[in-house]
Structure 1
Amino acid sequence: MKENKKVSHINTLELIIAENLDERQAKLIELALRATENAHAPYSNFRVGAAVILADGQTFWANNQENICYPAGICAERVLLTYTHANFPHQKPLVIAIAAKKADNTGLATVTPCGLCRQTISEYEMKFGSQIEVLMLRADGSVLKAQGIDQLLPNKLENLNG
């Protein structure tokens, strides 16, 4: 009888303090934060913004859009990625930044992509054959950086092969 093997996979995200962001990262975080202002979040008041830079250098931003018929709303990341792919289908996304503001308007909220958004990012990584850097603004102004969605989907099947 074969013995079972234990598989472990540890991902470490990079923590970047605000003043150490490079120019591109800082611009995307700023755009994501600005995008929160126009979020349609009348039910949760939790406003999320996302910004992306495409391979050709274009940048876009979007925000969450809630709907009283839950779960018909859509997250900022999916609004952004589906818009850019619908309009620029041959431009791969290189970096996506995500920012959120607390429902009570007292400041920033730490946010990571939800499961649906993580899967959506994974789909675009598979389509274009390259990782998408994910920048997540934290409540203290620092940024968590994932080199690709695998760092946020640690048990993805490709990670367990070999």
Structure 2
Amino acid sequence: MNVIDFKISYETYEHINELSAQDRALCIKAEEALKTSYSPYSKFKVGTAIQLADGEVILGSNQENVAYPSGLCAERVALFSIGSAKPFAVVTTMAITAHTENFDIKKPVTSCGACLQVMAEFEQKQKSPIAVIFYCLNGQIIKVSGVRSLLPFVFVEDRLAGSL
């Protein structure tokens, strides 16, 4: 038997003003994306802003449906939009935030496993990491330099892509 330790490094910030100007702007765009959230059931709005290598920013918000499995998280809404409209675009950074009237969100909301897998697929496809900023409105911020830090055992199967 082998025991292997796994360690990740991440940055924390107590306020948005501690971020670089570019990261701060992306967080503000993620806040803007909250306005398009369709979340009449959970009342839990999630917004994401994605910075592309060419400077363009793409927004996404969660979209619910009364048949819950039919909804989609903000991260996947934005990433799938990029995948269909700009299949060769390179994603450099994602900012994700959340808001609800039902309670105070006191720490950053992180992505679900399905979103992490899609984010990891984008990293794999573009062969470069995606920085991820989890932005708590009026609270702490967490930044990781790549999705592999969040999903170390990402499902990657090169043989499915015909690389045998």
Q: Same fold (TM over 0.5)?
A: yes
Superposition misfits of 4+ residues, deviation over 4 angstroms: 105-109
Kindly indicate whether residue 10 of structure 2 is the aligned counterpart of residue 7 of structure 1: no
After superposition, residues 85-124 of structure 1 pair within 5 angstroms as: 85-104=83-102, 110-124=108-122
TM-score (norm 1): 0.88
Flag the 1:94–1:110 CA change in 2: closer, same or farther, 3 A. same
Give the letter for the 2:42 counterpart: S
Check the 8 A contact 2:76/2:118 in 1, yes or no: yes
Count residues in correspondence.
Answer: 155
Change (3 A) 1:105 1:39: farther
Letter in structure 2 aligned against 1:5: N
Q: Which residue of 2 aligns with 1:126?
A: 124
State the AA in 1 paired with 2:148.
Answer: D
Q: What does the per-residue CA deviation read over 1:69-123, in whole Å, with 9 as the maximum and x for residues that have no partner?
A: 1111000000000101211111111000000002426567621110000000000
Match among 60, 63, 71 for residue 62 of structure 1: 60
Aligned counterpart for 2:146 among listed residues 145, 148, 155: 148
8 Å CA contact 1:11–1:154 kept in 2: the answer is no
What are the ranges of 5 or more consecutive residues in structure 1 without an aligned counterpart? none
Distance in 1 of aligned mates of 2:80 and 2:116: 13
CA RMSD of aligned residues (A): 1.8
Residue type matched to 2:73 in 1?
C
